[in-house]
Structure 1
């Protein structure tokens, strides 16, 4: 089974006022950290692509030392769906059996969670696996290849969640209660950093 992993890092981070992908924590950027997390996956066959956009050059440079394929999204200003479409097109070109989306601003993401998602997928083309935050759910999120055509039709700024919602009664869920912790504003970052350094 060939699984394409896509790190979505094309946004402008307008609410933060600086590229969240390049925030430094524990002497590395959030992007470098999540990329390393993804690369530690042990699964039948995986490859990693990074979708860039607003800050394409510095974002790509931040992972220049890692074995990832960098794809520039010229339509990044449309919103996350444009990056989903680009990642899906690439997955189809790579003849992937599934596509797993990951973001850069979930600092609690770890490799065991991603392994659990892949284990729950287990090669089913009709499978959708999402991360359960308790009060909500979302990324990391995996789609089997049966959903690739529909992923290519998405538009706007909500990414792949509208498609997963369409099949809400079929979703498989992996517990990720800290998945709701993300970095959208300077206050988010300060709050996370304070809790991380003062547990």
Structure 2
């Protein structure tokens, strides 16, 4: 990372887990929580800073050194509220790399590959849709700060955006239901 390029990795962990039925971030995979696995992948990425977006008054997970916790006051407003909170916290960075706390199969290498992209770049999921993790330069921060509701950045038109696919598409699996915990 060059001195003028400061990438903030923003890990969103303020969702309601409504389809899961309980707090999916604390669900276990091979003896580790979903959130701890996601944080481990993020911790290995080549970025300048790491932010964990949590609901206000949520119990703090065990957060390794090097992470900053930021609280989103109204997580019921959907993923857009979490994105706005994280991007506001990362406003002094050149790029924001947004990842999800319920994606425990991500790898540091893929996150680093995204971190080195210049323009808005999404992950290309196996079904062809663009989504998280995704990186945005600071020029895109105003658009991210204007997001509303339970729709993420991919719902907005990014004409200059590109997408990259991981070597293993399973790393983009997120946890929405208990059956998703199976590898």
Same fold (TM over 0.5): yes
- TM-aligned CA deviation for residue 54 of structure 1: 7.3
For the structure 1 residues 55 and 110, does the alpha-carbon distance in structure 2 shift closer, same or farther, using more than 3 Å as the test? farther
Q: 1:145 aligns with which of 125, 138, 143?
A: 138
Which residue pairs with 2:175 in the alignment? 183
**Structure 2: which 5+ runs fail to align?**
none
Answering whether residue 94 of structure 2 is matched by residue 97 of structure 1, we say yes
Q: 1:133 aligns with which of 104, 125, 129?
A: 125
Which residue pairs with 1:7 in the alignment? 11
- Relative to total residues, which structure has the larger helix share, 1 or 2? 1
SS, match of residue 139 in structure 1: strand
SS, match of residue 56 in structure 1: coil
Q: TM-score, normalised by structure 2?
A: 0.88
Q: 2:162 aligns with which of 163, 167, 172?
A: 172
Cα deviation digits, residues 119-140 of structure 1 (max 9, x gap): 223xxxxx10110113222100
Cα deviation digits, residues 45-74 of structure 1 (max 9, x gap): x111111117711xx2x2334431111111
For the structure 1 residues 54 and 17, does the alpha-carbon distance in structure 2 shift closer, same or farther, using more than 3 Å as the test? farther
Which residue pairs with 1:84 in the alignment? 83
Answering whether residue 74 of structure 2 is matched by residue 75 of structure 1, we say yes
Cα deviation digits, residues 72-121 of structure 1 (max 9, x gap): 111111100001111111111xx100001111222321011011112223
For the structure 1 residues 160 and 182, does the alpha-carbon distance in structure 2 shift closer, same or farther, using more than 3 Å as the test? same
Q: TM-score, normalised by structure 1?
A: 0.82
Provide the C-alpha distance between the structure 2 equivalents of 1:10 and 1:54, rounded to a whole number of angstroms. 9
Structure 1 stretches of 4+ with a deviation exceeding 3 A read: none
Q: Is the 8 A contact 2:106 2:172 kept in 1?
A: no
Q: How many residue pairs are counted as aligned between the two chains?
A: 176
Q: Is the 8 A contact 1:81 1:158 kept in 2?
A: yes
For the structure 1 residues 66 and 27, does the alpha-carbon distance in structure 2 shift closer, same or farther, using more than 3 Å as the test? farther
**Aligned-pair Cα RMSD in Å:** 1.7
